[in-house]
Amino acid sequence: MNRHTEKMCACCDTAKPFDQFYKDVIPNRNRYVPYCKSCCRAKMKQYKEIIGNEQAALWCLLAELGIPFLKDVWNEASRIIEGNESKTRKPDIFLTYIRCYNEMGIVAYGFWESDVMLTDFYNIKVEDDDVEIKSSTIDLNKECETWGEFRVDGILDESAYKFLNKTYDEYTKDLGELDLNVQNRYRDLSKAEWRLRKANENGDISEIKSAQDILNKQLALLNLNDFKDEVISDEKRAYEKRIAYIENSKPAECEDLKKYLDIVGYEKEKAIPMRAIRNAIAGTKDYPDIPKDEQ
């Protein structure tokens, strides 16, 4: 691990670049929070699935990271999130909270300075030393506004909406904020995945073929269907050669005997066709040396 450019995530125990961590808000502590961005998102998702409440999930994550949950900061973050829900992809709740925390100039030194309790968001029933968490049910009316109607025997299908949301989150979890058009395309992709799943369950060959075709087209639209190895173009090869030259060149005041070294092999690869072109244009007779065993 390069300590100048990387940090070890305390959750996944993996060394990652600094830009994969959120900035810490606690003075006299590490510059970055202990968990990487991916682990923070995974923790939020896990807490939300268990508790069924996004605010309570944020409270739990902040408790793990030692960052206080403050009512004034949450109110401001909540206002921003609610104001952007219909315009772009819903802002990341944790990142929004941290940004508001910094912008408000809050100075606190640990989670113990929180002025909001978990019970302010969620009802916890304690019985025989066991904690029972009451999950909230899915809001089917809100899901209909987002996804449209998915019914089974005339009744809205809750399993369909859970699948759609899970699939959408998996596809977009590392994409940051998306504009409305891109959001809708990923929702179309999630619907195509759901249609294919139902077709496979029903065993309808014709419907499976049709659903797979729609899914493939949606994947192609989002450039998610290219699994081929990358072929380096001549332009990219030349660009890499230029970069390599700059990185391996000496200062101008130094004598550099390898100044024109073909580092990535671009000139060597193109030597034969370039020699033929020069001979044709200039009328020269520049031919390669004949090997001794052929003379």
pLDDT in tens, 230-259: 556 667 767 776 666 665 665 555 555 555
Check pLDDT > 70 for residue 130: no
Cβ count within 10 A of residue 123: 12
Give me the mean pLDDT over the 5-15 stretch: 88
Q: Rg of the chain's alpha carbons, rounded to an integer?
A: 29
Q: Within 13 A of 177's CA, how many CA atoms are on the CB side?
A: 13
User: What is the percent of the chain with per-residue pLDDT over 70, rounded to a whole number?
Assistant: 76
CA distance 237 to 268: 12
The residue among 138, 126, 90, 107 whose CA lies nearest residue 26 is: 107
Residue 85 and residue 117 in contact, taking contact as beta carbons nearer than 8 Å: no
Q: Give tens-digit pLDDT for 61-76.
A: 999 999 999 989 988 9
CA distance 212 to 279: 54
pTM of the model as a whole? 0.44
Higher pLDDT, 41 or 234: 41
pLDDT value at residue 132: 44
CA distance 188 to 224: 14
First-to-final CA distance of the chain? 56
Check pLDDT > 50 for residue 186: yes
